[in-house]
Structure 1
Amino acid sequence: MTVHYHEEDLPAGVLADGPVAVDTETMGLVTTRDRLCVVQISDGKGDEHLVRFANGSAYDAPNLKAVLADPARVKIYHFARFDLAAIEHYLGVEASPVFCTKIASKMTRTYTDRHGLKMIVSELLGEDISKQQQSSDWGAPELNDAQREYAASDVRYLHRLRDVLTERLEREGRLEMAQACYDFLPTRARLDVAGWADSDIFSHM
């Protein structure tokens, strides 16, 4: 298991075919204000790749964009809504098709309201991940070892979680409903960026 660090783009040919786990680190939670700093990606074979973007970056990352925009590759996220918005706003690609472990957790683990990645990994996989660096400065000129390990851990377990959660969705008869939610997520992310982040446009009010 190795964490690979890259500047401004992903090297060509470093990922195996098939689904990829994806996550992002930004300067904050407001997509249009808080720039994209890091994209993490893993093919689930044991290595994680971190692509860091400097302040003022043109986000010209053709190799990374090609992977993210590939319609033949499922992208596995935890809380895809946020990552999709950041990726499309800064990199200009729709990073779908999608599997979201947070949505899958909410649709299967209805016995709890704890759907954070740390809790899901602990319960379903028996692994412990640290969230200590979650609120650190991702826009710094250099990422420290703790930040790199934290970023890598956010994609390290997503392939395994997808397998477990898919089994549960099938067991509960909710696989098609979950897929419909995943398919809507790119539009939900665009609504967030366009100003409807806190509005339920489907409500009567």
Structure 2
Amino acid sequence: MSPEIIRLIAEATLDTLWMVAVAASIATLLGLPLGVFLATSGKGELFAAPWVNKTVGFVVNAARSTPFIILVVAIIPFTRLLVGTSIGTKAAIVPLTIAAAPFIARLIEGAIREVDQGLVEAARAMGATPLQIVRKVLIPEALPAIVLSLTLAVVSLLGYSAMVGAVGGGGLGDLGIRYGYQRFMPDVMAVVVVVLIVLVQLVQSTGDWLSRRLNKRLRQA
């Protein structure tokens, strides 16, 4: 493998990491409060608003049910309006974020709902406000599960980032398609796959380790 190809693989790996990091950060900022709202706004819950909950839930489900590659193509005008282009790593961040935010919201909702309701009732009995319960009970108790949820989201984003290569999104997917497939260089395709596998393993292992640490601290507290 030539030095030029090695350089391209290194640059594509950095592009992928940048895309995933930015998209995951923005999607978490959007998905975390949305997930908390979905978990606490049902009938009789902390921020009871059943109709709003159902409406938001419908929108989240609709976004999640759209195949990613169709989403990428469908929002090209919006992507171009937002970042000035529809190709490259900057443009790829837009569909990655839109795809990840509702996914993260549902994962966060599930993590919050796993918290023992006895703790919520105890906090209510002591006079805690709904916002205090969210900040001091629900999120701290659900933190290990939230970390695992975000880990799963990042792993999914790594896969999505490879898909945007099919429409000129840059990164490892783009490199694999342009060189591995279109130029008949199976060695490049193999390296791209190996790099993606390594990245997924690193992300998953780090997330599992951090979740165990947080869970251990939670049990000791």
Task: Give the TM-score of the pair, scaled to structure 1.
Answer: 0.29
Whichever structure has more helix as a proportion of its residues is 2
Which of structures 1 and 2 has the bigger CA Rg? 2
- Higher normalized strand content (fraction of residues): 1
